[in-house]
Chain A
Amino acid sequence: MRALCWEGVGKLAVRDVPEPRVRAADDIIVRVRASSVCGSDLHLINGYLPAMREGDVLGHEFMGEVVETGPGVRRLRVGDRVVVGSVVACGGCWYCRTEQYSLCDNSNPQPVFTEKLWGHSPAGILGYSHAAGGYSGSHAEYVRVPFGDVGAFPVPDGVADDAVVFASDAMPTGWMAADFCGLEGGEVVAVWGAGGVGQMAARSAQILGAERVIVIDRLPERLATAAARLGVETIDYSRTDVLEALREMTAGRGPDACIEAVGMESHDVGPSYAYDRAKQAARLQTDRLTSVRQAIMACRKGGTVSIVGVYAGLVDKFPLGAAMNKALVLRMGQMHAQRYIPMLLDRIAVGEIDPGYLATHPLPLEEGVRGYELFEKKRDGCLRSVLHPAG
């Protein structure tokens, strides 16, 4: 079958690879119909999460059709149209039973790297390097989904592939980011990053009760889309002093909650960006922290900073003093896909969230390399390229 593979730092290619097989009783094989690019892939492609191997199949945000089930699969049938959470979860450990799926104890068969790096190993993630289990990803005609009954969810009829695909990753991530904020109604929430994740976080914050949502980015077309689709306010950080603007918009208080949906390749204007980039290039620090710093500085006293942008290692100049002395609540994590997907599917079905507009560039799998170029360089208004391996 054909698949989009990583071929070295910054290099991708569509190649022939063997088809996956059912290998455990709980496995299902999914024929992929839509598989989206995600900001996390950029960290992998560019070598910031340094555990990719040449030939690895990328992709983790996807939906498709069940074409084969292992003998232990109960809930799903061949022919089901399903969306699959990008996080692999066993369903049987303490973390899974308490719905903290991205912390599953048993789904990363290669836990040593992250145990050394982080003290413990979180869950495996499909198509997400050998640090996250070495699973083959979804930018392929077929993909093996372990623990199929836990990770795959039948989708309602009448919802387009290119909309429901985001229930796999961008939506649950955005939802969890807003959920972390503990909103009670009437809050002001600021969101850094107007990518798929940031936009879904903004929409989720609205649904969970935020009165005002302010989205921060530098890409005018993304900010315009967010304003038009979601009715949020926006700040262009390349033209405006973000901290000043937020202070003014909240009459001095600062946002009640700040969501960071940018991640470790955070971009900045000014000298500290050059400094961060240089250190990152020399691998003296793995992560660039601009937006997290801003979120902490901007947040009101006693407010919540919710981080869903991905970070991997060590950072510099983390404003711990500000966080400590302002008594901030810091929440963060990889999202618990399986916990949120059924609820999100319901919300899509009734039209409360319509993520379909994120799929700005539907493309055949064969054009996957171009799909990533468009996405990475944010060309042509690309929010997300969605690959269609089934044609």
Chain B
Amino acid sequence: MVSKATRWVLLGVGAAAATGVGRTVARRRRRHQPERQDGWYVVRRGVTVDRPRDAVIGFWTDRERLDRALAEWATLERIDGDRWRCEGVAPDGGAGWRAEITVEGPGVLRWRVTEGAVPQEGRLELTDAPQGRGTELRAELRYRSGPVRRVFGLTAGDEPDLALRDALRRVKSLIECGQVIETRHDPSARSPRQERATDKIRDKLTTGGRA
């Protein structure tokens, strides 16, 4: 059983899971290349959650349904003191991934994907937002592109970045209003074929975002 105090590593799982699988959605190449450092692409993204820090951390300990949701695609296992191993399957049933998550202090955690489509590591930090606006979730993500991806010209692949932004947005929404809103199957007069085409557009309009 995961103890209350460190249960918020689940937040790291949320981020790692979204980015660890490496999304396969095709999309336009970005004009701006992410920053590079020592062969790693580095992106920093942040989102502000309108809740105090304790509530953000507490959210992951309170909500049983998160556990249930998590159970479907990842398991969390304690290695020792502050280290956790996280293992998951890609949502589309594809290759799994494995990550190690370390709680580094109050409000800071790191994750490292040890097996997955894109080698990557990340850091997530919670700080108080000014003016009582809640908590800033700041993530820094570093990832490499493997040789195969380079051959196919995917070196500037922005999937982990987009996925990270998705993850932060979803986390914010879950904490603030208890759900991530979905309109995908709202009624329409579309034929199945038209609906599939529209779903592709929905994907484009959903994936990434400002975070």
Contact = CB atoms under 8 A, between A and B. Distances in A.
Interface of A: 1, 3, 5, 7, 13, 15-20, 23-26, 53-57, 72, 88, 90-94, 97, 105-113, 115, 120-121, 124, 130-131, 133-136, 140, 144, 146-147
Contacts, number: 126
A15 B208 CA distance: 34
A111 B210 contact: yes
Interface string B171-211: 01100111111111111111100110010011011111110
A24 B182 contact: yes
B182 A92 contact: no
Nearest to B183: A134
A136 B184 CA distance: 10
A131 B179 CA distance: 20
Given A24-B181, A121-B210, A134-B183, A93 B205 contact: no
A121 B209 contact: yes
B178 A72 contact: yes
Contacts of B206: 109-112
Give 6 nearest A-B pairs by CB, closest first. A55-B190, A110-B205, A136-B186, A90-B177, A15-B189, A92-B177
Interface in B76-131: none
Contact of B189 (A3, A90, A94, A124): A3
B182 to A, nearest CB: 6
B18 to A, nearest CB: 16
A55 B199 CA distance: 13
Contacts of B207: 112
B94 to A, nearest CB: 24
A112 B209 contact: yes
A135 B178 contact: no
A1 B172 CA distance: 35
Contacts of A105: 50, 172-173, 176
A19 B189 CA distance: 11
B4 interface: no
Interface residues of B, number: 35
A94 to B, nearest CB: 4
Contact of B205 (A92, A107, A130): A130
B201 A130 contact: yes
B36 interface: no
A92 B210 contact: no
A138 B48 CA distance: 33
A93 B176 contact: yes
Contacts of A115: 209-210
Contact of B181 (A72, A113, A146): A146
Contacts of B186: 20, 57, 134-136, 144
Contacts of A93: 50, 176-177
8 contacts: A5-B188, A17-B188, A26-B177, A109-B183, A111-B210, A112-B208, A134-B186, A134-B205
B149 to A, nearest CB: 24
Given A92-B177, A106-B177, A120-B210, 7 more contacts: A20-B187, A23-B182, A112-B204, A113-B205, A134-B183, A144-B186, A146-B181
A194 to B, nearest CB: 34
A217 B206 CA distance: 40
B209 A25 contact: no
A55 B185 contact: no
B133 interface: yes
B189 A57 contact: yes
Nearest to A150: B177
Contacts of A91: 177
Question: Which of A20, A25, A56 has most B Cβ within 10 Å?
Answer: A56
B192 to A, nearest CB: 11
A155 B210 CA distance: 38
Interface in B134-187: 134, 169, 172-173, 176-187
Contact of B188 (A56, A90, A133, A146): A56
Question: Which of B183, B184, B206 has most A Cβ within 10 Å?
Answer: B183
Nearest to B181: A109
A54 B194 contact: yes
B183 A133 contact: yes
A92 B134 CA distance: 12
A298 B177 CA distance: 44
B183 A25 contact: no
Nearest to B206: A110
B187 A53 contact: no
B181 A124 contact: yes
Contact of B134 (A1, A20, A94, A124): A94
A55 B193 CA distance: 12
A74 to B, nearest CB: 12
Nearest to A90: B177
A240 to B, nearest CB: 45
B77 to A, nearest CB: 30
A310 to B, nearest CB: 20
